[in-house]
């Protein structure tokens, strides 16, 4: 049983730079292919948050942003019922910084979630992802970014 899907997520994204670990608003968009229990998803993540962080000169950095893309494998261990839990993991490249500036940093994505099928073509659910930076900390105007996370409510449409 195979299908292509489009997923949209809206929720909270945390960007931790040591001074600030507040959550901001984030959005994900994913295009995937699923064959029974296995899937492959190509996705985009965009987020912004207000922060109390300061740069090296002591000036306030008003906003941190996070954007990038990922390629993740997904495993659905239980299928056929209305509830479909899953785990996912893969690699991504993210730009994190102040005022939409920053270097592109490689990351390893890991996460878990669950969908509730509302029919054969639509599901709603939630997920938690940790796109941990692969090559050390991301360097930004607001200092080193230690880690990020996202918690999203999702809607998935199957074709």
Asked if residue 92 lies in contact with residue 68, where contact means CB atoms within 8 angstroms, the answer is yes
DSSP-assigned states of every residue in 45-110:
EEEEEE---B-TTS-B--EEEEEEEEEEEEE-SS-SSSEEEEEEEEEEEEEEEETT---EEEEEEE
- Confidence (pLDDT) at 12: 92
94-121 per-position pLDDT tens digit: 887 765 556 778 888 899 999 999 988 9
Residues in the chain: 159
- Confidence (pLDDT) at 86: 97
- Confidence (pLDDT) at 49: 74
CA gap 155, 159 in Å, rounded? 13
pTM of the complete model beyond 0.75: yes
14-56 per-position pLDDT tens digit: 877 666 566 788 999 999 999 989 999 999 998 887 666 666 6
Tokens at 135, concatenated = 């090559």
Mean pLDDT of the chain: 83
71-99 per-position pLDDT tens digit: 999 999 987 788 999 999 999 988 877 65
């Amino acid at each position: 049983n195979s299908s292509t899907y489009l997923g949209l997520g809206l929720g909270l994204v945390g960007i931790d730079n040591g001074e600030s670990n507040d959550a901001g608003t984030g959005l994900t968009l994913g295009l995937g292919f699923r064959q029974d229990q296995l899937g492959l998803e190509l996705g985009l993540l965009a987020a912004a948050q207000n922060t109390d962080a300061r740069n090296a000169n002591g000036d306030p950095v008003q906003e941190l942003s996070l954007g990038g893309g990922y390629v993740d494998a997904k495993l659905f261990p239980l299928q056929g019922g209305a509830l479909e839990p899953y785990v996912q993991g893969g690699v991504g490249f993210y730009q994190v910084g102040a005022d939409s500036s920053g270097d592109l940093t490689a990351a390893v994505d890991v996460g878990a979630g669950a969908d509730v099928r509302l029919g054969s073509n639509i599901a709603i659910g939630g997920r938690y992802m940790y796109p941990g930076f692969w090559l050390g900390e991301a360097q930004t105007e607001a200092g080193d970014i230690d880690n990020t996370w996202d918690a999203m409510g999702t809607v998935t449409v199957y074709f």
